[in-house]
Structure 1
């Protein structure tokens, strides 16, 4: 669930101009079915919007002249986004994709007025006959990062730069900790919340504070590369998030938890073209190759750790085991997930407690 707060009045002005002028489109047949992507920010070269844009480019490469792609950038999660979705629908696009959580109600409102258009929404939970949601299981990648971190840490203290206290982020904190403690039970995780999805200044400050508290391997659930860059400056380790961030701190970088949105986009577009699309919620992960821990730093991660990461990835890919399979205890030592039980998707989507090994308490 992404509610990015990246935008300024200038950014929205740029999006408004895009509505008045011809939309940026790929060079494809004018009569091909239109597929429109709506982005919260500018793709840049890393992070959330970049990952979605990479997915759109994969679809462009796969379908070629069979579709006509439009991309609208810098659209805020506000009532103004409704105008963007409505304009795209009025222009006859067959598929309209809102890539951020805050678009949900505005996109759904437009969907009800255009029953012949398919609306796809990232990380949402609502449903209509022509409106479906999709997400990726980033927590599986966070778990693998934790496995590597459990081997690499020298202080047995991990750090997590957290955005906003919602189940998505809590899942990732817990998964990171579970992965680390599966190979190193002495590990504990310190968390700092910045209450924003994108604030490089706060991300840097949080990373510095965590490092000052002894954390020597960091993970983030935020959108900039500031955490990794700060780890590099302070000579500790960190992971990239959403996309490969290695270039922002090659020596510090242990790997990146990458979302492969193109896997879903290709499948959904094909289903619509074939007349087989259904509005069932989609939540894909490692089994579908929608998430992975990539570009491992083999010079910093011991060989045994690399083998463990690979083995756990294979277990997840097999689909018979998941990160939140018990026994799992909470901070008080109480068993929250009994042995042999795995949290269901609805339970994961309501998760509001820390696992054993996470320091501190959740914000009220």
Structure 2
């Protein structure tokens, strides 16, 4: 049976069941495209880019990407890659949900894995998110134990569920260790504006914050310049800020990306929520090593953090997911 006939037969059968089982492609390199609305250097997107490049380096996929794609242009780029025969398309569609889902309906033989606040869309539109609230809680515990002023500043991009839940988890972790801690929360209205994030952080330091939650680039720069401390998010920036960043909640996109690639190659890709593969039990997230702060964080504090980490991995403690917008407490 020819490949095209298998495609038609498989599509017909799968659509009748509400799911799409794409053709097995185990013998060929998968053609994968990434579509990003920000530079690949941006924290969140950099993790997707890193995981796809790892698969490329292993010889599993051919990988091309477009960065800095405007929301108004996203649908066109999706269609372009779909028409070019890319079998798996990955990106983030938080601002273009309707358009992206429209494209997926028009190309039912293509697999789409998109960062999204919405649900999967049968037969071929899967979603993912950075569910790293578990290590965010642990970093909050560290921050709560390290602050001297009991004032923590938090700078985020936009108050969307994906950001809100991490901030709330961080705040809950800090309060577990230090019930007296207070928070100043600011959203800068951008996913990539380091100067604006830096200015927001300066304002928090001026109000007494001695630890900053760096959800955006630019915050750690402010902390470094003023001699304060910072907690990282998504990536480990301690190498760039060895005297500033205590620890980070790391997102590892490899479990999500590798599963999607395997599913497409096996002809088993269906519309599903990949969010769980960002959680600690799947190694999709973790607390970074303390590195330069190994001897600076009190041992009794880290003992509590490690105990909580074990409880999370053992399924004995669940970090609460709160998607509502976090507010300043002072």
Is 1:73–2:67 an aligned residue pair?
yes
Instruction: String of CA shifts for 1:129-178, please: whole Å, max 9, x gaps.
Output: 11110112122222111110111111111111122222333222221111
After superposing on structure 2, the runs of 4+ consecutive aligned residues of structure 1 that deviate more than 6 Å are none
How far apart in 2 are the matches of 1:67 and 1:168?
Answer: 28
In structure 2, the partner of 1:57 is 53
How far apart in 2 are the matches of 1:60 and 1:50?
Answer: 15
How far apart in 2 are the matches of 1:147 and 1:100?
Answer: 32
How far apart in 2 are the matches of 1:95 and 1:169?
Answer: 26
**Aligned partner of 1:307 among 303, 306, 322:** 303
Instruction: String of CA shifts for 1:309-363, please: whole Å, max 9, x gaps.
Output: 2222222222342121xxxxxxxxxxxxxxxxxx6xxxx45x3465xxx515xxx
How far apart in 1 are the matches of 2:187 and 2:87?
Answer: 39
Is there any run of 5+ residues in structure 1 with no aligned partner, and where? 1-29, 325-342
SS state of the match for residue 239, structure 2? helix
How far apart in 1 are the matches of 2:96 and 2:306?
Answer: 36
How far apart in 2 are the matches of 1:38 and 1:166?
Answer: 20
Is 1:242–2:234 an aligned residue pair?
yes
SS state of the match for residue 158, structure 1? strand
In structure 1, the partner of 2:5 is none
Quickly say closer, same or farther: Cα 1:51–1:179, change in 2 above 3 A.
same
**Aligned partner of 2:133 among 132, 135, 139:** 139
SS state of the match for residue 219, structure 2? helix
**Aligned partner of 2:35 among 17, 38, 41:** 38
SS state of the match for residue 105, structure 2? helix
How far apart in 2 are the matches of 1:259 and 1:197?
Answer: 17
TM-score by length of 1: 0.77
Q: Which has the higher contact order (CA 8 A, sep 6+)?
A: 2
* Residue pairs, 1:197-346, within 5 angstroms: 197-222=191-216, 224=217, 226-284=218-276, 285-296=279-290, 297-324=293-320
How far apart in 1 are the matches of 2:154 and 2:124?
Answer: 38
**Aligned partner of 2:111 among 118, 122, 126:** 118
SS state of the match for residue 248, structure 1? coil
Is 1:89–2:85 an aligned residue pair?
no
* Contact kept? 2:93, 2:100, Cα under 8 Å: no
* Contact kept? 1:52, 1:99, Cα under 8 Å: no
Quickly say closer, same or farther: Cα 1:257–1:91, change in 2 above 3 A.
same
How far apart in 1 are the matches of 2:285 and 2:307?
Answer: 16
* Contact kept? 2:185, 2:326, Cα under 8 Å: no
SS state of the match for residue 29, structure 2? coil
* Contact kept? 1:152, 1:300, Cα under 8 Å: no
SS state of the match for residue 275, structure 2? strand
How far apart in 2 are the matches of 1:318 and 1:37?
Answer: 35
How far apart in 2 are the matches of 1:176 and 1:193?
Answer: 16
How far apart in 2 are the matches of 1:180 and 1:238?
Answer: 13
* Contact kept? 2:122, 2:270, Cα under 8 Å: no
Is there any run of 5+ residues in structure 2 with no aligned partner, and where? 1-26
Instruction: String of CA shifts for 1:172-231, please: whole Å, max 9, x gaps.
Output: 222111101111111121112222222212211111111111111110322x2x111111
How far apart in 2 are the matches of 1:353 and 1:215?
Answer: 17
Quickly say closer, same or farther: Cα 1:37–1:319, change in 2 above 3 A.
farther
* Contact kept? 2:133, 2:166, Cα under 8 Å: yes
How far apart in 1 are the matches of 2:105 and 2:68?
Answer: 24
